[in-house]
Amino acid sequence: MSLTIYRKAHFNAAHRLYRKDWSDEKNDEVFGKCNNPNYHGHNYQLIVGITGEIDKETGYLIDIKILKQIIKEEVEDALDHKNLNLDVPEFKELNPTMENIAVVIWNKLRKKIDPKYDISVKLFETPRNFATYTG
Ligand code: NI
């Protein structure tokens, strides 16, 4: 038997999608408005899923206070009100697409959460556009 619990979080961040090695025309063609040289923001919504077994003693799958703290430190403190391209080391050489942001968040959480749990990260860049990463 396994069960998944979820914790929601959100952060606001700015980004620009582009490749330095491409022309302005090609960047515009591929990345459209997300290539705006002056950056733009998104209100990212995050849903973290933790899958495992219910602890018989506590009835918890994981102590959600601890999960909340890990998400605060690894995601909110690291990304909220940041320029992802300029302020966040993981995106110095990596395009901050929602796909890559979801993978970066998953990798950060994976280092902090007991390997006995499976982790999923669902990241909404807009209410209609989102990505799920499960490792
Ligand atoms: Ni964008």
What pLDDT is stored for residue 64 in this prediction? 95
**pLDDT tens, 54-71?**
999 999 999 999 999 999
Q: Which two tokens stand for residue 134?
A: 């499960």
Q: Which of 10, 53, 81, 99 is catalytic?
A: 81
CATH number of residue 92's parent domain: 3.30.479.10
Q: Which two tokens stand for residue 124?
A: 């909404």
User: How confident is the model over 81-109, as a mean pLDDT?
Assistant: 97
Q: Which of 15, 42, 74, 125 is catalytic?
A: 125
Left (φ > 0), alpha (ψ -120 to 50) or beta: where does 117 sit? beta
pLDDT band at 116 (very low <50, low <70, confident <90, very high): very high
How far is Cα 99 from Cα 108, in angstroms, rounded to an integer? 15
**pLDDT tens, 17-76?**
999 999 999 999 999 989 989 999 999 999 999 999 999 999 999 999 999 999 999 999
27 alpha carbon to ligand 1 midpoint, in Å?
13
Torsion over CA of 15, 19, 20 and 22, rounded to 10 degrees? Answer: -140
Q: Please say if the pLDDT value at position 1 is more than 90.
A: no
State the pTM of this model.
Answer: 0.95
Count how many domains the chain has. Answer: 1
Task: Quickly count: other Cβ atoms within 10 Å of residue 15's Cβ.
Answer: 25
Enclosing domain of residue 13:
2-133
Q: Which two tokens stand for residue 92?
A: 């110095």
26 alpha carbon to ligand 1 midpoint, in Å?
17
Left (φ > 0), alpha (ψ -120 to 50) or beta: where does 70 sit? alpha
